Amino acid sequence: MRLGLFGGSFDPVHYGHLLLAESAREQARLDMLWFLPAASQPLKQDRPLTPGATRVQMLELAIGGHEAFDVSTIELDRGGVSFTVDTLSTIRTQRPDDELCFLMGADSLGDFPRWREPQRICELATLLVACRAGQPMPDPERLAAELNLQLGKTLRVERIDMPGIELSSRDIRKRVGEGRSIRYRVPRAVEKLIETAGLYRG
């Protein structure tokens, strides 16, 4: 199986996340794609996250009916800061025959050498690099040289193109807190859950 892995806070999940996931599924010919909500992200510890169970519920509502999408609670179950290398190592142990593909944004690729054990991440998974329309992709040859890896062998990179869509979870939280509409920014079921649970109202 060619398995895509999409990590993040998903607080809340929005249509930008879903469009990116579907673009990756189609272009990278993924058999399955797992959303991996983080317990705590290394670079995003400036605010408390919505409880993991609630974020999982929002994700399940958002992807309901898509046979190739699923939610994995591996990082929530482990707890603590969610490092990609630990998650990939665990999934590789559990699913040794699958081809793992890790989805990331083009902006994250520039910071990738500063992640924990980037060479090990490249050993475990193909990098699916998402680029918005017209956005240049960081030079993978430069990345290979910086990490002392061989492009196409020890470093496998595939470009994923997606339409430009300016949505962010931070903006959605801000809009909710200000009493503004989030209609058509998140799936309707997610919008209703945010409303009934009183999320993001400060």
- How would you write the pLDDT of the chain (202 residues) with one tens digit per residue? 999 999 999 999 999 999 999 999 999 999 999 999 999 876 665 678 999 999 999 999 999 999 999 999 999 999 988 899 999 999 999 999 999 999 998 888 888 999 999 999 999 999 999 998 777 888 889 999 999 999 988 999 999 999 888 899 999 999 999 999 999 999 999 999 999 999 999 7
Inside any domain, residue 12: yes
Whole-prediction pTM = 0.93
Inside any domain, residue 193: no
Residue 42's pLDDT is what? 67
CATH, residue 141: 3.40.50.620
What's the DSSP call for residue 15?
H
Spatial distance between the Cα atoms of 146 and 35, rounded to a whole number of angstroms: 29
Inside any domain, residue 73: yes
CB-based burial, 43-77: b 16+ in 10 Å, e otherwise: eeeeeebbebebbbbbbbbbbeeeeebebbbbbbe
Q: Angle between the 52-63 and 188-197 helix axes, to the nearest 10 degrees?
A: 150
Inside any domain, residue 194: no
Indicate the number of domains in the chain: 1
Inside any domain, residue 176: no
Radius of gyration of the chain (CA): 17
Inside any domain, residue 185: no
Kindly report the number of other CB atoms within 10 A of residue 111's CB atom: 12
Residue 98's pLDDT is what? 98
Q: What are phi and psi of 114, to 5 degrees?
A: -95, 0
Residue 94's pLDDT is what? 96
Residue 137's pLDDT is what? 85
Domain that holds residue 15: 2-168
